Each structure stands twice: as structure tokens, then as C-alpha cells.
Amino acid sequence: MTQVILCCDCNKVCVLPDPKLKEGILSLTRAGYQLSATASVVEDQLSELDAQVLEYEHELRHLDNQQETLDAALRSTNLTIQAYESVAFAPIRKIPDAILLYIFFLACASVDETLFPVPDNLYLTPFYISSVCAHWMTLTRSSYHPELWWRLADGCIPRLSLSRETTGEDTYTSQWVFRHRLPVMYPQSGWKTPYLYVSLVRGVNPHNSKTPRIVGSFDGYDSVTSLALDNHDMTIPRTVASSLSFHGLSIWHLYLRNIDAIDSIDFNYDLLKSVWLDSYHGTSTVRHMLDRFNKRISLTLHRCDLELVEEYVWTTTSNITSLHISEWLDAASVATLFSMYFFPHLTTLVFTGSPTELALPRGAVRQCPLLEDLKLKDVSLSDDDVLDILYDAGRLHSLSIIEPTVTDSTEIWYPTITRRFLKEMEVGRDTLLPRLKSLELVWDDQDGPVQADALLGMLQMRAGPLTRLVIGARSGAIVEDRIVGALSALRETGVDAMIW
């Protein structure tokens, strides 16, 4: 007889088998399942693996924390590297500016003007160098080194096109040169914008007309803000530029060489920010140019000379804000300039590279009450004359004196950075340049090194307000260890102190 019961395992009603079946089979199906020895080992292994999984998860969380810490350290290190490679800690900052400029100067090798066109590898060199880093680009744009840009101008300007018009007995060739979006200006500081370069060159023509005429199209030159007019051939009449018209161009920076008829050239003078005059001689010519640009601009006079004559004894007020005089040809030229003009708005005054001594009338700097920046490079000037100038420049913030290197034993040279000069700078701190923040002293050591005791005394007295200091010998000779130690101590106080 079949029995119906409730199964204890599946909770379902089931029909029991016929009791006639063997009790062994029934007892086997109703008994609990017994694990074998192999099954017990597997269970233990599973428990161990579960424990290992927990350990691995803990280790992963620990590694995640370590990765976050390392990522933060990496970001901090990258920021530190950027800081060292950028501003004050860059390796290029450890090299004196004069060495960098000398390297740049050598790279911009002068090219014979008769070679046309200039090879690419020559004229692209300065552009490549100036784009090395922001510091070098700023340095190469320095208006303190006109000879650098003069050499660059003569030898490294790309001639992109050539137009020639034959008008008679002579042929005047006009080279219209346009350089677009290059980081180097021509030739004055701040000329970062595209410029137009016009060069006048004499040619040969068998015809018989004597009226030269320069023509050119300036369509598409709207972005030009710098203009250079250069009369290369001295036999070409300077008035030939009167036929040039730059109507529609916004000229900010102007370079003129041997061009007299500036009044007849058509462009907007009101927008000018800087003017470079090269190779202008004679009182009337130079004075005419100065009067024509008598506004608040930056002016550079390169190889210009004047002669003081009786009819020019009056003095005119000049609105020039920055004046750079380089390679004056006559010792009296500078004195004549400061005798003819007052400079009440002048803030920057630079004298560089002259074969003759610098002669300033007494009290000339006193006529520049706003003067803040003075640079004397390769200038023969005695310590007495320099001290007279400095006592009159009470508002001066920056002073740079770089003595010339004398190679000719017969050449007359007056040392500037003497023991007396250093002592005056030391004891006269409150009356001699009390606002001085930047100081550069580079001496010619052919007659012996500078007096270390006097130099150290001056540095100790001037250390407070100084933020920048450059000292050293023009030849690059090693200075004494105690001077190096004094500079190291100044660096620890935040002063940008360097050895030439």
C-alpha cells in the first residue's frame, strides 16, 4: 500500500515507494550526506582563498592611497621644475647678460651688402636665438646695445622682393622688404611688430633723365607698424625720399639713415613711439630732426655729431622721454646737444661705444629731474665727472657702468670705477643715489684688479635697498673669494647678485 507523507527535505508531498523495496536503498536516500576527505580539503582551501581575497583588497586600498600620494608629489615636482626653468632660477639667468649678448652678437655675423639675397641660414640665426626662451628674447631686445641691432640690420635682413624702375640717367632700385610676425624688432627696443624696410640703391642706366622716382604698392601691409628708410648709397640725393608715401600705415617705430626730406614723407607722425636717427651730421640737420620729433618718444642718435656755433646759443625744451646716444664722432657733440636742449621729461639716458671721450656740460643731468635709468658702456669718463653726474641724478633707480677695454696703449682712457668712486658710493649713501635699486659695475682690469676692500665696503652699505647687482672684470677674470662670499650673502637676502 502506498503511503503519502510530507518530505522533510523539500517540504512537498511525495509518495513513498513501495515498502517492498529494499530498506537499504530507502535508508540511504533518507540519511544525511557525508562529505568525503577530498571535499573537506576543498572547503579548507576555499576558506583560505577568501582570506587571501580580503588581504588583496586591503593591499589594493593601500596602493591606491600610495598612488594618490605619489601623484601629488609628482605635481609638486613638476611645479618646482617649471619654477626653476622659468624666472629667476633658470640656468640662463646664471650667465651674465653681457656674455649672452656677446654670443648673440657673434651669431648675427655681418654680411656684405653687395651679396644679394642674404643666405637664409644667416638671416634666420638671430630669430632662432631670440626664441630660445623668454629671458633671452627680452635680453636681445635691449635698447642698451644698438651695435647689436645695427649689425643685425646690416647683415641679417631678408630681402623678399625687388622692384626696379628706370627713370633716366641713373637707376634707383627700391628694395621693399617685409618681414611678418617675427619676434625680433628692427632696430630699437620694443619693435615686436612687423616692419617695412626700404633700401635705396644706385644702379646704372644709359638713359638721360635725372629725376628719380621710387614707387611701390603697400596693399596688404596694414599690420606694419615699424618703418626703416635707409639710403645706402651716399651719392643718392637725400631728398629722393620725398616721393615715398606711406599713407594708411600706422607707424609706431621709425628708423632713418641718410634721409633728410622727412617732412615730405607721408605718414602719421602722431603715432610715433620711438625714432632711430643714424649718420646725421651738422648742427642744422640734426637740430631739424630733433625739432621734428620733439615729442614724448624714445630717441636714439647713432653716429650723429653736432658743432656748437654762435647762432645756436639758445636752449629749447625737449619732450624726449628716453635718449640713447651711441658712437658719437666728436667729443663736443654731446656737450652741444645738452647745451641746446633741456630734457625735463627724460627718464632713461644711455651712452654707449664711442671712440672719443664723453664731455657733458656741468649741470646737464640736473636739467633731467625725472631721470631714473643711466647706463655708461664703453665710455671714457673720469671718476670726478661721473660723480658730478651722479650727485645731480638724485632720483636714479638704475646705474650701469661698463668700462671700455683699452687695446691701444696710445689711447687716452680715464678709469671710472676707482677707489675714490667706490668710497664715495659707500660713505655717500644718503646723499649719493639714495634710491638706487639696480647697480652694475664692470671694470677694465688691465691695470690691476679693483680695490676689494673698497668694493666690499660699498656693497655692505648699499645692500639694503638693492634688488639687483652685477660686478666683475671686463675680461672675466676671477674675483676674490671674499667678494664671492659677499655676493652669496646678498643672494640669501633676495638680491639678484651676479658676477660678470
Query: If you write DSSP's letter for every residue of 273-312 in order, what string do you get?
Result: -EEEEES-BSHHHHHHHHHHT-SSSEEEEES-B----GGG
Instruction: Tell me what the mean pLDDT of segment 305-325 comes to.
Output: 73
Q: How many residues does this entry show for the chain?
A: 500
Residue 107 clears pLDDT 90, i.e. is over it: no
Residue 382 clears pLDDT 70, i.e. is over it: yes
Buried b (16+ CB within 10 A) or exposed e, 365-388: bebbeebbbbbbbbbbbbbebbbb
Instruction: Calculate the average pLDDT of the chain.
Output: 68
Residue 19 clears pLDDT 60, i.e. is over it: no
Instruction: Tell me what the mean pLDDT of segment 217-231 comes to.
Output: 61
Among 75-79, 84-88, 108-112, 379-383, the range scoring the smallest mean pLDDT is 108-112
Q: Which three cell numbers stand for residue 260?
A: 633728410
Band of pLDDT at residue 114, cut at 50, 70 and 90: very low
Amino acid 470: pLDDT: 85
Amino acid 149: pLDDT: 43
Amino acid 372: pLDDT: 92
Instruction: Tell me what the mean pLDDT of segment 9-21 comes to.
Output: 56
Element (H, E) at 5: strand 4-6
Residue 166 clears pLDDT 50, i.e. is over it: no
Among residues 136, 72, 128, which one has the least CA distance to residue 100? Answer: 136
Question: Using CA atoms, how far apart are residues 217 and 176, in angstroms rounded to an integer?
Answer: 9
Instruction: Tell me what the mean pLDDT of segment 470-495 comes to.
Output: 78
Band of pLDDT at residue 147, cut at 50, 70 and 90: very low
Amino acid 157: pLDDT: 35
- pLDDT more than 90, % of the chain: 4
Band of pLDDT at residue 435, cut at 50, 70 and 90: confident
Element (H, E) at 38: helix 37-86
Amino acid 374: pLDDT: 92
Residue 77 clears pLDDT 80, i.e. is over it: yes
- pTM over cut 0.85: no
Strands 226-231, 253-257: pairing is: parallel
Q: Cα-atom radius of gyration of the chain, to the nearest Å? A: 40
Helix (H, G, I), strand (E, B) or coil at 94: helix
- DSSP-derived letter for residue 419 is H
Among 164-178, 282-296, 312-326, 472-486, the range scoring the smallest mean pLDDT is 164-178
Residue 182 clears pLDDT 50, i.e. is over it: no
Band of pLDDT at residue 370, cut at 50, 70 and 90: very high
Amino acid 371: pLDDT: 92
Amino acid 216: pLDDT: 41
Burial of 358 (0-12, 13-18, 19+ CB in 10 A): buried
Amino acid 383: pLDDT: 81
Within 108-264, residue ranges assigned H as helices are 120-123, 125-130, 134-140, 146-155
Among 167-171, 385-389, 493-497, the range scoring the smallest mean pLDDT is 167-171
For the chain, give percent helix, strand, coil, nearest 5.
35, 20, 45
Residue 201 clears pLDDT 50, i.e. is over it: no
Q: Hey, which bits of 54-212 come out as E strands?
A: 163-166, 170-179, 195-204
Residue 188 has a CB neighbour count (10 Å cut-off) of: 24
Instruction: Tell me what the mean pLDDT of segment 310-332 comes to.
Output: 75
Band of pLDDT at residue 135, cut at 50, 70 and 90: low
Angle, nearest 10°, between helix axes 481-492 and 452-462? 10
- pLDDT more than 70, % of the chain: 54
